[in-house]
Amino acid sequence: VYGAGTWRSYTPTVLYSVVPVVYKVLYRYLAEFLNRMEPHPTAVERHDALQLKLFAFTFVNSYLALLYNAFWKKDYDRLHDLLFSMLVTKAVIYQVAELAVPFVKGKLLNKRNKNNSPSLTPRESEILDEINADQVDMDAEYLELAVQFGYVSMFAVAFPLAPAIAMLT
């Protein structure tokens, strides 16, 4: 259907690489909703329950197709293509999300602040930028590192460049 050896042959693989990213965002909303419905006596237990839900879903979402291709179908060429596509697609998506979006958002906020506020000193402007900056979710960062480490450690045999791509991101 897609023509072997053409760029179209990678379309299903790239689509499969994008779908888990979308599912991850949707599942986070579902996990937070379910967590609010559960009677956790402390904030720590509530946080731990949310992290457990997110980690379990992310594990299944990230590795199921790779494990299926590696151990059930034993299609190592497909495993190689899928791992390459997943690593590169996720790297591009997360780089855009982590670099481009805050850059554009910062430019828009600076433009709005210059138009709406009286003249600020550079120090006041810097403080205002820090106040308006997004908070970093360290749990999500650690989860992404754990998933990436799993890709590299479990499937580096199928795709030897995986550690290099992981190091770049």
Domain locations along the chain: 7-168
Residue range 1-11: mean pLDDT, rounded: 65
Is the torsion defined by CA of 107, 108, 111, 114 positive or negative?
A: negative
Phi, psi (5° rounding) for residue 55?
A: -65, -45
Give yes or no for residue 62 having a pLDDT over 80: yes
Q: What's the predicted TM-score (pTM) here?
A: 0.75
Residue whose C-alpha is closest to residue 62's, from 35, 92, 81, 82: 82
Structural tokens at position 86: 């997943």
Instruction: Give the tens place of pLDDT for each residue, 45-61.
Output: 999 999 999 999 999 99
Which pLDDT score, from 0 to 100, does residue 116 have? 61
Instruction: State the burial class of residue 121 (Cβ atoms within 10 Å of its Cβ: 0-12, 13-18, 19+).
Output: exposed
Give the closest residue to 154 by CA, choosing from 44, 71, 57. 71
- Determine the Cα–Cα distance for residues 150 and 51; give it in Å rounded to an integer: 17
Q: What pLDDT score was predicted for residue 124? A: 80
> What is the C-alpha to C-alpha distance for residues 156 and 15, in angstroms, rounded to an integer?
22
pLDDT confidence band for 2 (50 / 70 / 90): low
